[in-house]
């Protein structure tokens, strides 16, 4: 059920092994909020590691908001909160599986067609260039959870044109084809349900929606995907942890340019 079974993994570095063990021990309750972790020296011994990887692991756990660290004292566990893995951010299917729910989908349409202005700007292609776009209702245990609007440049989208998009995760297909998803920027905003959103989600038009815009890139910064997910705000919320001394990879910013425009559907 975990992501290890379904998504490719890279070889772990030493600090990643340490992080994985400590994160698991926090999540299974071995360490609880307020508990102190073993000292740096003890962790070095436990993981047969030099200080570098242990310190790197502590820095990253601090960045995640899981622990508080400080010179001359032991690290303290702050929260048991789970963090978002890359795959569960990229793929609603992966996210639902991580919640113990059965992912499902009902494709409204999928099309290969010329990019409209907004889609072209987000995908950084020329307006009128062919892209593959899709509208799906996503289900969690057979209940509507999100309206998914997604667009891919043609060379990425071609991989899913002959895939049955009702049958499972398109990101699973794309990863299998070697598409190299490396970074994701999300924009979280609020909006009122349109008639189409409301019909698909089974709620009243004008209900509040939590909206996640998503742009995914490869290592060279090429745009691989532009997506718009709309969730009934009654169903869920986004949670973020921040710890003093560590920048949080999230920021609240006034709207500007086209980044928050609706994709055409």
- Ranges within 49-108 binding a second copy (CB under 8 A): 51-52, 55-56, 59-60, 63-65, 68, 70, 76, 78-79, 81-86, 88-89, 95, 99
Neighbours of 12 (CB within 10 A): 11
Nearest CA to 31 out of 45, 15, 41, 43 is that of 43
Instruction: Answer whether 216's CB lies under 8 Å from 90's CB.
Output: yes
Candidates 80, 194, 217, 265; binder of a second copy (CB under 8 A) is 217
Report the b/e string of 200-238 with b at 16+ CB within 10 A. bbebeeeeebbbbbbbbbeeeeebbbbbbbbbbbeeeee
Residue 264: how many CA atoms within 13 Å on its side-chain side?
15
Q: What's the min distance (Å) between Cβ of 125 and a second copy?
A: 17
Q: Is 248 among the residues that bind a second copy (CB under 8 A)?
A: yes
Q: What's the min distance (Å) between Cβ of 57 and a second copy?
A: 9
Q: Report the residue number, 110 or 246, with the smaller CB distance to a second copy.
A: 246
Q: Is 39 among the residues that bind a second copy (CB under 8 A)?
A: no
Candidates 25, 110, 161, 191; binder of a second copy (CB under 8 A) is 191
The burial class, CB within 10 Å (0-12 / 13-18 / 19+), for 131 is buried
Q: Report the residue number, 165 or 232, with the smaller CB distance to a second copy.
A: 232
Applying CB under 8 A, the span of 109-117, 128-136, 162-170, 251-259 interacting with a second copy comes to 251-259
Q: Report the residue number, 54 or 131, with the smaller CB distance to a second copy.
A: 54
Quote the Cα angle for 191-102-232, to 5°.
15
Neighbours of 262 (CB within 10 A): 12
Alpha carbon distance 31, 25 (integer Å): 6
Q: Is 25 among the residues that bind a second copy (CB under 8 A)?
A: no
Q: Report the residue number, 30 or 167, with the smaller CB distance to a second copy.
A: 30
Residue 128 backbone zone (phi > 0: left; psi -120 to 50: alpha; other: beta): left
Q: What's the min distance (Å) between Cβ of 114 and a second copy?
A: 27
Q: Is 202 among the residues that bind a second copy (CB under 8 A)?
A: no
Applying CB under 8 A, the span of 38-46, 47-55, 105-113, 197-205 interacting with a second copy comes to 47-55
Of 127-186, which residues contact a second copy (CB under 8 A)? 181-186
């Amino acid at each position: 059920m975990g992501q290890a079974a379904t998504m490719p993994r890279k070889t772990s570095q030493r600090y990643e092994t340490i992080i994985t063990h400590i994160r698991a021990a926090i999540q299974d309750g071995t360490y609880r909020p307020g508990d102190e972790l073993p000292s740096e020296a003890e962790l070095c011994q436990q993981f047969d590691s030099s200080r570098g990887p242990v310190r790197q692991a502590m820095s990253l756990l601090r960045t995640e908001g899981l622990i508080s660290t400080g010179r001359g004292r032991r690290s303290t566990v702050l929260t048991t909160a789970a963090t978002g893995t890359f795959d569960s951010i990229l793929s609603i299917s992966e996210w639902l599986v991580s919640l113990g729910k059965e992912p499902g989908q009902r494709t409204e349409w999928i099309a290969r067609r010329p990019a409209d202005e907004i889609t072209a700007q987000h995908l950084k292609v020329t307006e009128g260039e062919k892209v593959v776009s899709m509208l799906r209702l996503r289900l969690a245990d057979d209940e509507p959870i999100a309206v998914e609007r997604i667009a891919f440049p043609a060379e990425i989208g071609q991989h899913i044109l002959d895939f049955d998009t009702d049958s499972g995760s398109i990101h699973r297909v794309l990863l299998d084809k070697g598409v190299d998803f490396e970074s994701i920027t999300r924009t979280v905003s609020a909006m009122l349900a349109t008639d189409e959103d409301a019909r698909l989600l089974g709620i009243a038009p004008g209900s509040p929606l939590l909206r996640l815009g998503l742009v995914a890139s490869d290592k060279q910064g090429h745009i691989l995907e532009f997506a718009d997910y709309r969730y009934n705000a009654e169903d869920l919320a986004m949670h973020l942890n921040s710890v003093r001394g560590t920048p949080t990879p999230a920021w609240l910013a006034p709207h500007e340019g086209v980044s928050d425009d609706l994709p055409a559907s």
